[in-house]
Amino acid sequence: MRKTWKFALILSVCASLLVAGCGGGGGGGNSEDAVQESDAPNFDPYGKYETPVEFTIGRNTNHVNNLPEGDTIENNLATRYVESRVNVKAKVAWETDDMKQKLSLSMTTGDLPDVMLVDREIFNQLVDNDLIADLTEVYEKTASEGIKEIYGSYGDFLLEQVKVDGKIMGLPMTNIGNQHQLLWVRKDWVDKVGAELPTTLDEVWDLARTFVEQDVSGTGKTGGFVMDQNAMNFSPVFAVYNAFPAQWIKNKDGQIVYGSVQPEMKAALADLSERYKEGLIDKQFAVRSNEEKEALVINGQVGMLFNPWWIGYTNYKESIKQNPEAEWVAVSAPVDDAGKFKTIRQDPIGGGIVVVKKDYPHPEAIMKSINLTTDFLYSLTEDAVQYKKEHPDELLIDNSRWNNDPTQIPMQIDYDDVLKRYYEDIMQAAESGDESSIQEDRIVSLRAYLEFKEKGNDVDVNTYGEYLSRIEGQREANNPNLEVIPGAFYGTTETMKLKWAILKKMEEETILKIIMGEAGLEAFDTFVETWHRTGGDEIMAEINGQ
């Protein structure tokens, strides 16, 4: 059946392309008329074509318009920079709010754009049906040194995710390291009750208990931890028990297994259930909206929560409006018996994979666009810095950092250890007093840090948020006690496509019921047995190649 499906799809694609070629229609996928066939491949990373080279791209709909008047997604400062340097132009074939559905339809009709941003599942389908280009030579010859250095910071881990039979079939967006959950604590509350910042799990629960029992907020409503509805923001608590829910990990025998069905989960769930009963976890976490949970923190009723380093870019930063004395600090707690703060490495591919349609005549042009866009976004070259300085009236109208949306290819990549690099750059520049020594895009963080040092909470909310994330969060995200455990599998198998949604629903419902005391620990054993029997064993066999 699978071979028949592939053959039918290929015939459909070929037929559609033939019709488009003969009819001369304006199909969204083809830009061959705009590409000069006489141009030989130009592999120089910054080499400029004599005649314009155009490619089409399918994009997610951009719902934020902070471009200057008259500028568009296709024509703005970032896209003009690429065009001016290498003579490469992007044309939007279509925009969609459902990329997966749109690409599935495009694969069926053959109306594929030259460039696509796809998830792993679509990537595998495109590879299986021989619809995308081998980018090995393009990457080796045309990727800039900056791009290669960024990808190289992941070792072989990142590019191996997009290699098929040793060939690089796509260019992955990156999911930077150290984005794990941290414990955020109201330090002013800690001082108020005469306690210390916690390290162990017992100390975490003791501090939460003290906050609640002493009603440290003074509202009569001091609450315990806010928890996500699937409890996954409590991964540091699970990790103390060597439990890693929702993660594929290797067991002691080298087999890939699913963390949510391992025996270590049971003790962690028992602990969380006990703390929920005690009132150290918000009793209504299962029914509260995200906005309601944020309100508990912003209004000063909750003083402990788990969140990654980027907390300052959420609504939590608004807490200083309601509580000017609030002092939030990040802590790598709880640690295990060996003093390690454990986390699983998240999927290194973040946001998708850039692929190029097979037989597009200038795949190296796509690499050039990515080279220059990355230089532009992060001010990696003096040329990019100078270009932005020469066009001050063409920057974003809200004075925000230029993001990857209004670019030729909305692709964002960064170093695996960028949080460490970023934090150290700010500290060194602050010490030297020379802001010209750091990347231009980091100056806003440096200035926020210096202003916060001078004024404390008497800064505006956005400055406070920048400080929380880029100083407090990034510092703690690189705590020396951190132990990052590699994930063992990030993809999707054939059985997962059919059964994973049902298995996940059963998993989340079981965890929720046990924590809330609606089911006893024996429910976990029942869940594990059912999980294995109704698809879990098949999935593990596929992952382990059995």
Summarised one tens digit per residue, pLDDT across range 513-535 is 999 999 999 999 999 999 999 99
Both 206 and 337 in a single domain?
yes
Both 340 and 471 in a single domain?
yes
Q: What is the pLDDT of residues 105-119, one digit of tens each?
A: 888 888 899 999 999
Both 472 and 366 in a single domain?
no
Q: Which amino acid is at 72?
A: T
Other CB atoms within 10 A of residue 261 CB = 19
Q: Which domain holds residue 115?
A: 53-175+350-391
Which of 167, 105, 157 has the alpha carbon at shortest distance from 132? 167
Both 297 and 202 in a single domain?
yes
Which of 360, 391, 422 marks a domain boundary?
391
Residues in the chain: 546
DSSP helix/strand/coil, 352:
strand
Residues 6+ apart with CB under 8 A from 63: none
Indicate whether 280 pLDDT > 60: yes
9 in a structural domain: no
39 in a structural domain: no
439 in a structural domain: no
DSSP helix/strand/coil, 361:
coil
Both 70 and 93 in a single domain?
yes
Kindly report the backbone phi and psi dihedral angles of residue 347, in degrees, each rounded to the nearest multiple of 5, phi listed first. -50, 125
Both 242 and 285 in a single domain?
yes
Q: What is the chain's mean pLDDT, rounded? A: 90
Both 315 and 299 in a single domain?
yes
Here the tokens at position 439 are 């990347």
408 in a structural domain: no
Both 481 and 334 in a single domain?
yes
280 in a structural domain: yes
DSSP helix/strand/coil, 108:
helix
DSSP helix/strand/coil, 327:
coil
The CATH number for 265's domain is 3.40.190.10
Both 322 and 375 in a single domain?
no
Number of domains composing the chain: 2
What is the 8-class DSSP label of residue 200? S
Is cis: bond before 334, omega within 30 of 0?
yes
**What predicted TM-score, i.e. pTM, was given to this entire model?**
0.87
Cβ proximity of 227 and 285 under 8 Å: yes
Q: Quick one: average pLDDT of 226-251?
A: 95
Cβ proximity of 114 and 357 under 8 Å: yes
Both 163 and 185 in a single domain?
no
32 in a structural domain: no
Q: Report the C-alpha gap between 19 and 30 in whole angstroms.
A: 12
pLDDT at 64: 76
In 3-state terms the chain splits into helix, strand, coil percentages (rounded to 5) of 50, 10, 40
194 in a structural domain: yes
Indicate whether 339 pLDDT > 90: yes
Indicate whether 20 pLDDT > 80: no
- For tokens 């060194």, the residue is 428
Both 70 and 99 in a single domain?
yes
Both 195 and 100 in a single domain?
no
442 in a structural domain: no
> What is the C-alpha radius of gyration for the chain, rounded to an integer number of angstroms?
26
Other CB atoms within 10 A of residue 312 CB = 23
pLDDT at 65: 81
